[in-house]
Amino acid sequence: MKASAGGYVRATDLGHALELLRQADGMGRVLAGGQSLVAAMNMRLTTGDMLVDISRLSDLSGVTEDGDTLRIGALTRHVEVGSDPLIAAHVPLLADAVRYIAHAAIRNRGTIGGAAAHADPAAEFPACLVALDARLEATGPDGTRTIPAEAFFTDVFETSLRDGEILTAITVPKAASGERHVIEEVARRSGDYALAGLCLVKRAGGHRLALFSVGPTPILATSAMEKLDAGDLDGAVAALAEEIDPPSDTQASAAYRRHLAGVLLRRAAAKLQGDAP
Ligand SMILES: Cc1cc2nc3c(=O)[nH]c(=O)nc-3n(C[C@H](O)[C@H](O)[C@H](O)COP(=O)(O)OP(=O)(O)OC[C@H]3O[C@@H](n4cnc5c(N)ncnc54)[C@H](O)[C@@H]3O)c2cc1C
């Protein structure tokens, strides 16, 4: 039977969820942890959708090793990302990011796949995934495909997920020996979304720097990365100011966000050098 708009169905497996989305004919909305979607519904920012609840699909949860990568199920909750021993050992950036995300109640329900699919430009995980050069796995009516994080986030709350697709897992490279990860942000209060933030990864092959809350998507700061690779921190801060175009809003001006980005880069670089706590 074709599901009616405004309904709710709990999917029993991935195939069932995909079929429910197909039946909903464009009106289906995937419900994972509900920490962003339900808030949007309460604020009447989204209405009339057919909710396809995937939260009980245990196959989409958990962390496994796969050679030199970790595979993180889309339904792995923030609190699990923060406490998982494989993530702590091999991708510390993600574990460190969790302490900046919202509050305990939200971290207990919110999922890493939900955070990626929601694509809030101020969220921590999307920028982490870009900095780590992660791959996102999506399954839909046409099968399964893998999307590089840089291509996944396309605009404010927009991703390259197609209609009827479900994000199933995220694959991240394990840190090689000597690799360092740092996340830094400034927020008005603990648990608030950041006014500006960044993720810095130092690999043998060079630096990767991704910023959040300074543009419509996570920003991979390639000019600043080149300067960091050359050991020119002042040049990297100057390059970063040129390559981001932050918004002004009620929280902060564009100029303040640009200033914060430079301050955060200096802090992160000091941490990489071991000069800062
Ligand atoms: C008060 C408050 C403060 C917050 N502060 C922060 C913060 O500081 N930093 C931060 O990063 N986040 C913050 N969040 C958001 C929180 O991290 C959410 O958990 C997260 O953004 C969404 O995850 P979810 O599993 O709850 O997704 P849901 O709310 O269930 O879904 C969010 C969106 O993603 C889609 N979706 C979810 N899962 C999938 C999937 N597997 N495949 C396809 N589409 C999917 C849904 O259809 C929906 O459009 C905050 C939320 C609240 C309410």
Which domains, and CATH codes, for the chain?
A: 8-53 (3.30.43.10), 61-173 (3.30.465.10), 181-273 (3.30.390.50)
Distance 235 CA to ligand 1 centre (A): 36
Residue 262's SS3 state is helix
Sequence-distant (≥ 6) Cβ neighbours of residue 144 within 8 angstroms: 137, 138, 168
User: In 5-148, which ranges are continuous DSSP H helix?
Assistant: 14-24, 37-42, 78-83, 85-90, 92-98, 104-109, 112-118, 124-131
Distance 227 CA to ligand 1 centre (A): 34
Q: Which of 8, 21, 29, 30 to mutate to test the pocket of ligand 1 (most atoms within 8 A of CB)?
A: 30
The total number of residues shown for the chain amounts to 277
Q: Which of 144, 187, 190 is nearest to 164 (CA)?
A: 144
Cα–chain-centroid distance for residue 43? Answer: 23
The tens-digit pLDDT sequence of the chain (277 residues) is: 333 447 899 999 999 999 999 999 888 999 999 999 988 887 777 755 789 999 999 999 999 999 999 999 999 999 999 999 999 999 999 999 999 999 999 999 999 999 999 999 999 999 999 999 999 999 999 999 999 999 999 999 999 999 999 999 999 999 999 999 999 999 999 989 999 999 999 999 999 999 999 999 999 999 999 999 999 999 999 999 999 999 999 999 999 999 999 999 999 999 998 855 5
